[in-house]
A and B are shown apart, each in its own frame.
Chain A
C-alpha cells in the first residue's frame, strides 16, 4: 500500500520526463542542452533558484484561494479576475495616498483583499439569492473585471511615459523586502506559506474548519443541525477572493513594483490546478506551487540559454499538466469499501 503511494508519483514524474525528453529531442536543435536547462536550470544557481521560489509565490496564494473555496464545497473560478483586478485597485490606491511605510503596505493589502473579496462575494450572493451557479458566475464576473482592469491600465491610470500599458512605479519604501538578492524572492513567500499553514490548522482544529467540511460534504445535513450554511458559503467565497487578490498585490509589491497589463498571465487560473494537484491539502500547496513554478522557470531559462521557442515550452508544460495527477500504479481498488448498508 504505502509502497505504491511513494512509487506512483515518482513513476508519474519519470513518465512525464520521458515524454518531454522525446518532444524536446525531436523539436530542438540542441536536445541535450535544452533538456538540461529545462529541468536542471532552476537549480543551477542561487539566482535561478530564488527566482523559481519567487515565481511560486502568486501560485501559493491563488492555490490557497482555490483550496478555501473547495473546502466549503463552493467553486471560485474567478480567481484570475480577483487576482488581477484586486491588485490593480490596490496599486492605484497606493499611488494616490502616500503614507508611512509599513502601515501603507498593510493598508494596500487590505484594500486589495476587500476588492477581490467583493468580486467573489457577488457570485456567492447570486447563488444564494437566485440559485445561480457560482461556478459560472464567478468565472464570468472574473473575466469581465479582467477587461475592466485592462481598460484602467490602458486608459485613465496609464503612466504616459511607460512603453506598455502600466501604472507609475510605486514608492520604493512600500515594496516587500527581498530575501535572496539579487533574485526576486521576497517576503511574500513567507506570508503565503504562513497563510497556508494557518488555514491547514483552521481546517483541522477549529470550529470553522469542521463547519466548512460538513457544509461541503452535506449542506442539507449541516443546515438541519444548525450550521449556517449560507454564512459559510459567503465566508468561504469572501476569503477565497480576498486571498487571491492579496496574492496579486503581493506580486506587485514584491516583484513588479507597478501594475502592468496582463501581469497575471494565468496565475489565477492555475491556482485551481495547484490546489487540485495536492487534493486540496493546504499544507502541501507550497509544494505544488513550486512544481508549477519549476516548469515555468525551466522554460524561461531554456529559452534564455538555448533559445527554446516559447511554444515548445508551453507544449511541454501542457503535457506535464496532463500527467501530474495521473496515477500509474494502483490496484483495482476494493469495490466493497464504499457501500451503504
Chain B
C-alpha cells in the first residue's frame, strides 16, 4: 500500500545574511500521512533551518514546498498553520507567565459573545488532556517541568488541528521515561493520521520509532529511506561520521575533592534536597540521576553557590566552601554548566566572544588595572573554539546565530577549557550529535587526570555513557549508588528507582 504524501520539499536552499552561512544547499524531504519521520544530521547540518522553513518562519531562497500536491508559499507561521503544519520548537515557545489553559487556547479562544467560553474550551480539550495526562491546567507555565511544557506544546498543536507535527529535538530535555511516554504519544497520533517529523541525534531511537529516516549533511539531503531498509551503520556513515568505539581509559582515583555532608535545601515548605551526603575523588565522574527533577539539578545549583542550603556543609579540597560566593568558588576551580542553555548558560544578546570570556575576563593576563586586553581575550576565544571545533565565521558574530549543537559545544568549551578541578554539569550531551557526544566523553576522560565531574541528568543513557558511578535521586533523597561497570544496560536505572520509590 503506498501511503499518501502530504508535504514535500524540493531542492530547498537558504543562505543567512549578513554572515553568509549557507545553511541549506538543496534539501529534499517528503512526509506521508500516518507515518513518523526522523530527521538526522550533525550539529549545524541545517535541520532546524529546514523545519523552520516548513513552518513558515523562514523563507527559502530557492526551492519549492508542496502541500497536498500544490505549491505553497508560506510567508508567516500562520500560513503554515492554515495548512495544518505546526512546529514545536526546541526551546519551547510558550508564554511563561500565562497558565497552561491560557497557553493552550491563545489565539484560538472559543468565545461566547466576547468572553472566553471556558466550558466549551474544557470540553474541547478534556479528552486530549486525559490522553496526554495533562492535569495542571491552572498552573503557570513557568512552574512546569520541561517535559510538561513539551506536552503542552504538543497539545496546543493538536488543538490547532495539526495534520503535520514538526518536533525539533523533542527529547533534548526529557528523561528516559518521559521520552518513552512521548513516543507512545507520537505513535498513537500517527494512527489518527498525523504526519510527524522529529529531529534527533539518537540513531537507535530514530530507527526504532520512525518509519522513515532522512539525513541532512551540510545542508543537503544525503539519505532518505524506509527504516526497514536501514541499519545504524549506514545512517551514521551518511551523517559523515565514522562509527567509533569510545575509548575508555581507566584513570587513577586520587584525593578527595568534594565532600558534602547532610545538605538540606528547602524552598518555601517544599523539601528539595533531603540530607544528601556524598564524596567525590579526583579521577571520578559521578552521575546524579533522577527520573524527572528529583533534586539532582538543585544540588548542582547549591554546589556552585546559586542557592544557599538550609543546613549542611560543603567541603572542596578540605576547605569549607559553604559560605563562599559564586566567584570565589569558580576561582577555586569549580565549573558549572547550567540546565537552561538559552536563559542561563548564554547571554543571547551578546556576541560569541562576550559569551566565551565570561569566566576569565577578570583574571590576570586578560585584565590589568581594571582594563580588558581584548586582543588576548580574542586569541583565547579562538583557541578555545578551535580546540572544541565550534563552527563560526567570526567571534564578533551574535551568539544566537549558532545552531543548537554549536551553542552547547561553546558552553562546554568555556567551562572545560580552563581545566577545572570540579565540573558540575546538567545534561551536558543533550542536543549533541554522536560524534560530539563521543568527543565530550573523551574530554571528560581527560578531565579525570586532574579533576572530577558531577553530572546531573534525567537521561539514563547519558548517565550510563559518561559516569563511573551513579547516585540515584528520588524526591530530593539520595536513594542508591550504582557502579556502571557491573551493569548491563541503562534500563537498570529505572527499575532501581522504581523499586525504591
User: How far is A209 from B350 in the complex, measured between Cα atoms in Å?
Assistant: 13
Q: Cα distance A223–B336 when bound, in Å? A: 12
In the complex, which residues 80-104 of chain B have their Cβ closer than 8 Å to any Cβ of chain A? 90-91
- A304, CB-defined interface residue at 8 Å: no
Flag whether B106 is at the interface (Cβ < 8 A). Answer: no
Contact with B354, one of A205, A214, A334, A337 (Cβ below 8 angstroms): A214
Complexed CA–CA distance, A228 and B362 (Å): 13
B342 touches A340 (CB 8 A): yes
Residues 334-366 (chain B) with a chain A CB within 8 angstroms:
336, 338, 342-350, 354, 357-359, 361-362
Map CB proximity to B onto A67-102 as digits: 1 under 8 Å, 0 otherwise. 000000000000000000000000000000000000
Q: Is B497 part of the binding interface, using a Cβ–Cβ cutoff of 8 Å? A: no
8 Å CB contact of B367 from A207, A228, A334:
A207
Q: Within the complex, which residue of A207, A210, A221, A338 is in contact with B344, where a contact is CB–CB below 8 Å?
A: A221
| A225 touches B (CB below 8 Å) | yes
Query: Residues of B contacting A210 with CB < 8 Å?
Result: 354, 357, 361, 372
The answer to whether B400 touches A220, judged by C-beta atoms less than 8 angstroms apart, is: no
Judge if B416 is at the interface, Cβ distance under 8 Å: no
How far, in whole Å, are A207 and B370 apart by their CA atoms in the complex? 5
Cβ–Cβ < 8 Å partners of A338 in chain B: 398, 400
When C-beta atoms are compared, the residue in chain B nearest to A1 turns out to be: B18
| A340 partner residues in chain B, CB cutoff 8 A | 91, 342, 348, 400
Question: Distance (Å) between the CB of B370 and the closest chain A CB?
Answer: 5
Whether A207 and B347, one on each chain, are in contact in the complex, defined by CB atoms closer than 8 angstroms, is no
Chain B contact residue count (CB 8 A cutoff): 47
Which chain A positions have C-beta within 8 A of B342?
A: 340
Q: Is B17 interfacial (CB-CB < 8 Å)?
A: yes
B17 to chain A, nearest CB (A): 6
Inter-chain CA distance A218–B345, complex, in Å, is 10
Interface-located stretch among B4-12, B271-279, B324-332: B324-332
Q: Of B16, B17, B48, B338, which contacts A224 at CB under 8 A?
A: B338
Report the separation of the CA atoms of residues A169 and B358 in the bound assembly, to the nearest whole angstrom.
52
* A84 nearest CB across to chain B (Å): 33
- Across the interface, B349 reaches (CB within 8 A) one of A218, A225, A334, namely A218
Asked if A213 is at the interface of the complex by the 8 Å CB criterion, the answer is yes
Task: Verify A221–B347 contact, CB threshold 8 A.
Answer: yes
Q: Tell whether, in the assembled complex, residue B361 and residue A228 are in contact, meaning their CB atoms are under 8 Å apart.
A: no
* Residues in A neighbouring B326, C-beta threshold 8 A: 223-226
Q: Across the interface, which residues of B come within 8 angstroms of A336, CB to CB?
A: 16-17, 58-59
Which residues in B have their C-beta under 8 angstroms from that of A225?
A: 326, 330, 358-359
Taken together as a complex, chains A and B put the C-alpha atoms of A223 and B346 apart, in Å, by 12
Residue pair B330, A207 in contact (C-beta under 8 Å): no
Query: When chains A and B are docked, how far (Å) is the Cα of A334 from the Cα of B18?
Result: 9
Within 170-202 of A, Cβ neighbours of B (below 8 Å) are at none
Which residue of chain B has the shortest Cβ distance to A336 in the bound complex? B58
Question: Quick check: is B159 within 8 A (CB to CB) of the other chain?
Answer: no
Answer whether residue A339 sits at the interface, using C-beta atoms and an 8 A cutoff.
Answer: yes
A341–B48 CA distance with the chains assembled, in angstroms: 6
Q: Which of A227, A337, A341 contacts B402 (CB 8 A)?
A: A341
Determine if B358 and A214 form an interchain contact, defined as CB atoms under 8 angstroms apart: yes
B27-65 interface mask toward A, CB cutoff 8 Å, 1 = contact, 0 = none?
000000000000000000000100010000111000000
Taking CB atoms, residues of chain B closer than 8 Å to A214 are 347, 350, 354, 358
| Smallest CB separation, B129 vs chain A (Å) | 29
Decide: A224 and B306 in contact? CB cutoff 8 A: yes
Within 8 A of B (CB), among A314-341: 334, 336-341
Q: Is A206 an interface residue (CB 8 A)?
A: yes
Q: Mark B285-324, 1 if CB is under 8 A from A, else 0.
A: 0000000000000000000101000000000000000000
Contacts A224-B326, A340-B400, A341-B403 given: A217-B350 contact, CB under 8 Å?
A: yes
Q: Would you call A208 an interface residue if the criterion is a C-beta within 8 Å of the partner chain's C-beta atoms?
A: yes
Chain A residue at minimal CB-CB distance from B168: A341
Contacts of B346 in A (CB 8 A): 218, 221
Task: Give complex CA distance A226, B359 in Å.
Answer: 8
Distance in Å from the Cβ of B377 to the closest Cβ of chain A? Answer: 9
For A223, the chain B residues whose CB sits under 8 A away are: 306, 326
Contacting A at CB under 8 A, from B172-190, are none
Could you tell me the distance in whole angstroms from the C-beta of B404 to the nearest C-beta in chain A?
Answer: 5
In the complex, the chain B residue whose C-beta lies closest to that of A214 is B347
Contact A207–B400 (Cβ < 8 Å): no
With both chains docked as a complex, state the minimum distance between the C-beta of A121 and any C-beta of chain B, in angstroms: 21
Within the complex, which residue of A213, A224, A334 is in contact with B336, where a contact is CB–CB below 8 Å? A224
CB distance B400 to A205 under 8 Å? Answer: no
Report whether A213 and B354 are in contact in the complex, using a CB–CB cutoff of 8 Å.
yes
Residue of A nearest to B52 (CB): A339
* Known contacts A205-B371, A217-B350, A226-B326; is-contact A339 B400 (Cβ 8 Å): yes
B347 touches A206 (CB 8 A): no
CA distance A144 to B327 in the complex (A): 39
Give chain A residues whose Cβ lies under 8 Å from the Cβ of B343.
218, 220-221
Task: Decide yes or no whether B374 CB sits under 8 A from chain A.
Answer: yes
Q: How far is the CB of A207 from chain B (nearest CB, A)?
A: 5
Contact of B372 among A206, A224, A227 (CB under 8 A): A206
A-B contact pairs, 19 of them (CB 8 A): A205-B371, A206-B372, A207-B370, A214-B350, A217-B350, A218-B348, A220-B343, A221-B343, A225-B358, A226-B329, A226-B330, A334-B17, A336-B16, A339-B52, A339-B58, A340-B91, A341-B48, A341-B400, A341-B403
**A interface list, Cβ under 8 A from B:** 205-210, 213-214, 217-218, 220-228, 334, 336-341
Residues of B within 8 A of A (CB): 16-18, 48, 52, 57-59, 90-91, 304, 306, 325-327, 329-330, 336, 338, 342-350, 354, 357-359, 361-362, 367, 370-372, 374, 398, 400-404, 406-407
Going nearest first, the 3 A-B pairs with the smallest beta carbon separation are A226-B327, A217-B349, A218-B347
Given contacts A340-B91, A341-B401, A341-B407, 7 further A-B contacts (CB under 8 A): A217-B350, A223-B306, A224-B336, A336-B16, A337-B18, A340-B342, A341-B403
